[in-house]
Structures are given as C-alpha cells and as structure tokens.
Amino acid sequence: MDQIEEMADNLKLLGDKTRLSILTLLKEKELCVCDIVEALEISQPNASQHLRKLKAAGFVNETKKAQWVYYSLKTDEIPYIKAVLDLAPSMQEKLAQLQNNHC
C-alpha cells in the first residue's frame, strides 16, 4: 500500500496546473526560474515555491551555473510521471516566445 500512497501523492502534485506546466516546460529543456516566470506569467516567489515542491518529490534536478539556478526534468526513475508528461501538449511555442534568453 505504501507504493500506492506514494503514487497518489505524486499524482496530486501534478494536479496543480502550475506544477504540471513547469514540468511540461522542463520536458522541452533545462530552464532557470526567470524563464519559467516569463513563460507562465507567474511571480518569481510562486515559481520558486512550486519548484521546491517538485524538487522535494524528486521530479526535477537543480544545477547552479554562475549566479543562476537551472532546473531540469528528472522523471526517468518515475515511469508513470514520465508517461503523463509524454502525453502533455508541447510547450515549444511558449519557449520560443521567451524574451530573456539569459537571466
């Protein structure tokens, strides 16, 4: 039953539109917080809060480059999350509209 409970908790995280959108963006490429903020039109504290939850669940990696922190998808070990994201619509158009290529 522990595995079912873990799956339920992980799927609850995806039930939030912002978190699902962040993961869908990260499916396309590694991004810093400022890119996520711009693409989703949300505040930086809001994006950081969601990223913190996604990192705690093991869905994202965090890499520091100079003064910026970049996030990338880490769902290969969680096949049911990867399957959900594989079915999510592409965010390429949103990423193409980003003005700020370097935070």
Q: Which domain holds residue 66?
A: 2-96
> How many separate domains does the chain show?
1
pLDDT of residue 35: 94
Is residue 103 in some structural domain? no
Q: What is the CATH number for 45?
A: 1.10.10.10
Alpha carbons 78 and 40: distance in angstroms, whole number: 25
Q: What does pLDDT average to in each consecutive run of 10 residues of the chain (103 residues)? A: 90 95 95 94 96 96 91 92 93 83 59
24 near 89, Cβ under 8 Å? yes
Residue 100, pLDDT score: 60
pLDDT of residue 102: 56
pLDDT of 58 reads 93
Instruction: Tell me the torsion sign for CA atoms 64, 68, 72, 74.
Output: positive
